[in-house]
Structure 1
């Protein structure tokens, strides 16, 4: 489990009630679990509140409006992404306009990012063979 500060938890609760249109549109698609992945909305981790998170893929999804390209925001976002990377999370930044223009393509890109971040080992398909067992024919 990941810990979060009290401030991050408070902020996440507040943000869940916001009516940010791109986030609402994306949440409608992500809560259907595309690709079988579970997503969380406004999920607090450490001192941050992630717009969306796929914990199994350790993927943070941030919806960036125009304000993210102004002033000190790009440097602040870069610092935040680096801090999340240290916690094992990759950040996928998606422009808000892309969500509004083509939400299906955005969901496909998010699902592909989740697949790419899956662990190399997969659950076993059963117990391993016993020593000396041979499967299939040798002919």
Structure 2
């Protein structure tokens, strides 16, 4: 028997993403460290956040699988066109797998962590609609 093929776009971890996530957990940015401290204090039932988690070929800053919520902490580099394009492609891939992506800036985290945590709590509380497949004969 050969090695089973991986489904394109599956949520498996890539070796590269796993290595990047381990390095990123060891040396977080100041904003990521501050947000992680705040997330760990949240007491919301059935939520568990992971930091610097590999998902597919990507590494996301924070993820709550049960709520299908990803939080990305963005520095100034994310305003550059080519980085914004990569962010868009990445977000499209993640959304295609049923995840919501909440982006916050480093500045927001550092200057007003309370508001950032309130936005996260609101996102966790929001209903996550499950896509309804088209009926037979409808759609593409």
**TM-score normalised to structure 1 length:** 0.80
Shift of residue 119, structure 1, vs aligned partner: 6.7
CA distance in 2, matches of 1:52, 1:96: 14
Aligned with 1:31: secondary structure? helix
Q: Report the aligned-residue RMSD.
A: 1.8
CA gap 1:34/1:66 in 2 versus in 1, 3 angstroms? farther
**Quick one: which of 88, 95, 101 aligns to 1:85?**
95
Aligned residues of 1:26 and 1:103 also touching (Cα < 8 A): yes
> Where does structure 1 lack aligned partners over 5 or more consecutive residues?
121-139
Aligned residues of 1:62 and 1:94 also touching (Cα < 8 A): yes
Confirm or deny that 1:102 pairs with 2:112. yes
Corresponding residue of 1:46: 56
The alignment covers a number of residue pairs equal to 120
Q: Which has the larger radius of gyration?
A: 1
> Where does structure 2 lack aligned partners over 5 or more consecutive residues?
1-10, 131-140
Corresponding residue of 1:25: 34
